[in-house]
């Protein structure tokens, strides 16, 4: 609501085949840049472009090793770009990368953007904020309760970011076991600076991922929106089955697919066997034995190649990091229903005062459904419908702004 440019970036890189998912997984990235003259915008964009691409290329490394290496290479790339141009010098960015694999979820983290997992109405923060407040709290110099932190302690100072220095320390967390229903959230601090963990969890519990992402951004904006707000929501629906563009199902058993051995190899092995037979008939036992040995070793190597997966490192499942760093129970309650209803009422009042052009029928559908849910005691449904009403009214608000711009242009005001 207050920034003229967006220094946040995001990336979603989904595996396009079952084999790719089995070995590399799905990749999600959020970055929050910092630096004047569009430097922060460039830094975050470089991070979200570079990390998924590099991670997917490093197939000779296990996923945790590849994620760590890709993040470090991205840091070097951002640092080099900053050093090459005086206007970009010192630019930096936070970065959070979530990789969802069959073996679990991995997180690579630098800065104070966050990754959460919601499971059974418990929201877990999987990343440690690299901020002055969190570092002082970890050292025992600040209380755990946010309300008791002295006002003179700056809350927006981060202690680690990508780009300003040639090297960076990357936190690796996980792998975290996954199960159907798990919901992961990646976000910049534009969200967490305005919306509490409890509220985040309640929104994720009530809404589908696409609706939840929209609603969270609207909540932060309705509370002033002083910073860019970026949200990525991913929900585990069940065992992964990737479909191609035609919609045909790709099988699970990618590890049983056989690799092809070049026909020349089989020809050479056959020639060695024939050579062994020839030398045997000539009573030349040493050459015959040499040919048989070479054929045996070559055949074993060819079979090993054929029946092993192509060039992918073994997944190292040992646990990394100390997550979760916070756990919050977030079952929707009537207090949250009242909060969302209050936002809807405020938007309704504003719309009437400013004479918005609104499809009131759709608005009332959500309000009536929410009222019925309150009467029947279905708290989740009530919160869901009020949140949908908020999203609808915020869409109408944005529409009024566009209409006003069009009107101003027609009047020649700008």
Across 209-213, 285-289, 381-385, least confident range: 285-289
Residue 359 has pLDDT above 80, yes or no: yes
Mean of the per-residue pLDDT values for the chain?
89
Across 62-71, 172-181, 276-285, least confident range: 276-285
Task: State the fold for domain 8-235.
Answer: Phosphatase 2c; domain 1 (3.60.40)
pLDDT tier for residue 316 given thresholds of 50, 70 and 90: confident
Residue 249 has pLDDT above 60, yes or no: no
CA distances in angstroms from 324 to 123, 128, 137, 329, listed in the order given? 9, 9, 16, 13
Residues 155 and 229: their CA atoms lie apart, in Å, by 17
pLDDT score recorded for residue 152: 82
pLDDT score recorded for residue 254: 36
pLDDT score recorded for residue 279: 80
Neighbours of 241 (CB within 10 A): 12
Are the C-beta atoms of residues 248 and 285 closer than 8 Å to each other? no
pLDDT score recorded for residue 390: 97
Residue 46 has pLDDT above 70, yes or no: yes
CA distances in angstroms from 247 to 16, 17, 149, 235, listed in the order given? 12, 12, 54, 21
pLDDT score recorded for residue 312: 55
pLDDT score recorded for residue 403: 75
User: Which residues are 28's β-sheet partners?
Assistant: 12, 98
pLDDT tier for residue 291 given thresholds of 50, 70 and 90: confident
In tens, the pLDDT along 18-38 reads 899 999 999 999 999 998 778
pLDDT score recorded for residue 400: 87
Residue 255 has pLDDT above 60, yes or no: no
pLDDT score recorded for residue 246: 43
In tens, the pLDDT along 182-194 reads 999 999 999 999 9
pTM exceeds 0.85 for this model: no
- Residue bearing the bigger pLDDT, 257 or 81: 81
Residue 67 has pLDDT above 80, yes or no: yes
pLDDT score recorded for residue 36: 77
Phi, psi of 303 (to 5 degrees): -70, -40
- Residue bearing the bigger pLDDT, 257 or 83: 83
Phi, psi of 257 (to 5 degrees): -70, 135
pLDDT score recorded for residue 256: 40
């Amino acid at each position: 609501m207050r920034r003229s440019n967006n220094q946040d970036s995001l990336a979603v890189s989904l595996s396009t085949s079952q084999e790719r998912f089995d070995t590399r997984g799905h990749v999600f990235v959020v970055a929050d840049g910092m630096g004047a003259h569009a430097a922060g915008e460039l830094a975050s964009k470089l991070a979200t472009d570079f990390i998924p691409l590099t991670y997917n290329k490093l197939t000779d490394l296990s996923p945790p090793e590849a994620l760590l290496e890709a993040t470090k290479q991205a840091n070097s790339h951002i640092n080099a770009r900053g050093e090459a141009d005086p206007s970009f010098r010192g630019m930096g960015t936070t970065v959070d990368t979530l990789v969802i694999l069959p073996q679990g979820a991995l997180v690579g983290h630098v800065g104070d953007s966050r990754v959460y997992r919601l499971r059974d109405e418990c929201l877990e923060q999987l990343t440690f904020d690299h901020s002055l407040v969190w570092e002082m709290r970890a050292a025992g110099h600040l209380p755990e309760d946010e309300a008791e932190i002295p006002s003179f302690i700056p809350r927006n100072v981060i202690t680690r970011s990508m780009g300003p220095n040639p090297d960076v320390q990357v936190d690796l967390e996980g792998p975290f076991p996954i199960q159907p229903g798990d919901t992961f959230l990646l976000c910049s601090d534009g969200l967490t600076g305005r919306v509490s963990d409890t509220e985040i969890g309640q929104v994720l519990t009530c809404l589908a991922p696409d609706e939840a992402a929209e609603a969270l951004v609207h909540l932060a904006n309705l509370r002033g929106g002083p910073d860019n707000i970026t949200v990525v929501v991913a929900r585990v629906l069940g065992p992964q089955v990737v479909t191609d563009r035609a919609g045909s199902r790709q099988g699970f058993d990618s590890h049983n697919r056989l690799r092809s051995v070049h026909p020349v190899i089989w020809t050479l092995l056959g020639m060695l066997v024939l050579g062994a037979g020839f030398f045997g008939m000539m009573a030349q036992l040493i050459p015959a034995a040499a040919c048989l040995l070479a054929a045996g070793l070559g055949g074993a190597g060819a079979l090993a190649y054929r029946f092993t997966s192509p060039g992918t490192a073994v997944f190292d499942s040992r646990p990394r990091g100390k997550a979760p760093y916070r756990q919050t129970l977030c079952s929707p309650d009537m207090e949250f229903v009242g909060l969302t209803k209050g936002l809807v009422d405020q938007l309704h009042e504003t719309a009437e005062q400013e004479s918005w052009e609104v499809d009131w029928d759709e608005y009332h559908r959500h309000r009536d459904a929410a009222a019925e849910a309150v009467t029947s005691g279905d708290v989740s449904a009530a919160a869901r419908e009020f949140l949908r009403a908020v999203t609808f009214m915020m869409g109408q608000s944005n529409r009024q702004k566009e209409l006003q711009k069009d009107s101003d242009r027609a009047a020649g005001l700008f």
